Amino acid sequence: MKIVIIGQSDFGKAAFEAFVARGDTVAGVFCAVEKPGTRPDALRVAAQAAGTEVHQLASLRSDEAHTAMRTIAPDLIVMAYVTQFAPQSLVTIPKMGAIQYHPSLLPRHRGPSAIGWAIAQGDTHTGLTIFRPTDGLDEGPVILQKSCDIGPDETLGELYFNKLFPMGVAALLEAADLVATGRAIEHMQDETHASYEGWMHDEEAHVHWHDHVDVIHNQIRACNPAPGAWTTIGGTKVRIYDVRKVIARTHGEVLGAPGTVAAVTGDAIVVNTHGGRIEMLMLRPDGGAKMPAAQFAKERGVAVGLKLGASV
């Protein structure tokens, strides 16, 4: 097949390399304009190194985008980690149309932070969807889906890179073959089961220590590695990464005032919550590097009884 890839980052790069490796012709790549000061986009770098035509456009709605797509005249568009809106007028130019990857079991968890919200809401399984993009956000007909479990302590980074990333690249190849051979069966999404969540930003990553221990544990996992759940310790904003959850012996037991330090151990700062405790293992203070929580506690004089979450 003659393919155009719209995407970016490591996932877009992996999809590009997978299609090239099996003998498809990737005739063009469209990726977002890189912001000043950010690292070079992995897909752009890989495509240019391979001599593939690259288009970095401020908008895929533009006449320039449409002209470039018609000039390339691909059989199929593959959308792999896309943050720009791609209108129907663009994605229907190829004779086979377009397929798009989304890291959830649509119609559940539509939106840009699907993996994080699945974890934050306590889901025990999730998956990916390859679908036909429409002008509605993640609303198009489904071609195929793949499922996987979410481990009880699994983080966003672990779930993505160990499961949804490699599964997603393989699923794009499989879906492209189904489309190319006329075997793709498209199913409309059931709107009665649809859910949508927006970006998981700093506001959503703010830990409220009066929440239940399960809620806090899920929130921290959902934000690891980005944006990083956070609290304040002694007036310093601190991102929380690796943690352990300790459940209270009896239902509803409060082991101490929520948000107060219960203990400082050789590897953790232990914080009281409703229904248990959170053992913080790895932190990053604002403006600093990641460090073990025990090291932070020693350097900052964190002691039992300290209240977390005071104003920065």
For the chain, the straight-line distance linking the first and the last C-alpha, in angstroms and rounded, comes to 55
Kindly tell me if the per-residue pLDDT of 255 is higher than 80: no
pLDDT in tens, 145-185: 999 999 999 999 999 999 999 999 999 999 999 999 999 99
CB neighbourhood size of 178 (10 A): 17
Q: What is the pTM of this model?
A: 0.94
Burial 257-285 (b: 16+ CB within 10 A, else e): ebbbbbebeeebbbbbbbbbbbbbbbbbb
Please report the domains of the chain, with CATH numbers, ordered by start residue.
Answer: 2-193 (3.40.50.170), 206-300 (3.10.25.10)
pLDDT at 310: 65
CB neighbourhood size of 192 (10 A): 6
Partner residues linked to 79 by β-bridges: 6, 100
pLDDT in tens, 194-205: 999 999 999 999
Integer Cα distance of 297 and 279 in angstroms: 13
pLDDT at 252: 61
pLDDT at 312: 45
Q: What is the mean predicted confidence (pLDDT) over 43-53? A: 98
Q: Which two tokens stand for residue 77?
A: 């568009």
pLDDT in tens, 91-138: 999 999 999 999 999 999 999 999 999 999 999 999 999 999 999 999
Kindly tell me if the per-residue pLDDT of 311 is higher than 60: no
> Exposed (0-12), middle (13-18) or buried (19+): which is 194, by Cβ within 10 Å?
middle
